[in-house]
Structures are given as C-alpha cells and as structure tokens.
Amino acid sequence: MILSDVLRSRVLDDEGRSVGIVIDARFVLDGVPHGPLADARLVGFIVSPHTGSSFLGYERHDDGRPALIARVLRWHHRGSFLVHWEDIARLDETRVILRPGYRRISPALLGAQRR
C-alpha cells in the first residue's frame, strides 16, 4: 500500500457520518529490528475535522513561535485527533471507515517525541 492512497481520505464513523480527513500517519519504531532500525509500525492516522492540509504540525506540539502563524495553524487544525489502527474497519481509495466505539486520542507529541 502506498501511503498517499490514504492521506487526505475522508474519515467516516460506523454510521457513515464524516468525522474529518486523514492529514498524517503516525509510526513508532518498536517492531522487529531489520538492519540498523526497528520496523516502523503504523500506530494510526491523525484526523483533522476541518482541513486535509498539514503544515508544521502546530496542532501536535506546544511551540508558540511565530505567534501569529502558530495561532492560525492551531486554530485551523482544532479538534484534530489520533485514531488507532485497531479502530480502522476499512480502507479504500477515497475514505477510511472506523469501527463502532472508536477512540479519539490527542495527537500531541510528548517530550522527546517532538523534533
């Protein structure tokens, strides 16, 4: 699967209601080591209720500079959330469908996770 097939897809809940657009995919290096790095496992997708764009990730960290850009971008991505791979019921070319009772998790990057 090519990642860009999923980015910018519409995300629907189990009742067919739109909850946003996939703006990013989160991976964590905790899989089986192959070569110098461990496998990068897909944790889930970051979903924005308002836009399909993603720029500088201000909605995922607390950097406040430059103040005007930070405020505008954070407002633009308000309500963004991380949905786990385990909560994905179906992927196709234009949409991602979630399982009933899916969890909305803060997409924030904590401490050393930011770079």
What is the binding site for other proteins (CB under 8 A)? 1-5, 7, 13, 17-20, 23-31, 34-43, 46, 49-50, 54, 56-57, 60, 79, 81-82, 85-86, 88-93, 99, 103-110, 113, 115
Q: How near is the Cβ of 68 to other proteins at its closest, in Å?
A: 21
Q: How near is the Cβ of 46 to other proteins at its closest, in Å?
A: 7
Neighbours of 9 (CB within 10 A): 20
Paired residues of 22 in beta bridges: 47
Cβ proximity to other proteins: between 68 and 93 the closer is: 93
Q: How near is the Cβ of 11 to other proteins at its closest, in Å?
A: 10
Q: How far is CA 20 from CA 28, 34, 53, in A?
A: 23, 35, 11
Which stretches of 72-111 are assigned E, i.e. beta strand?
81-84, 88-91, 95-98
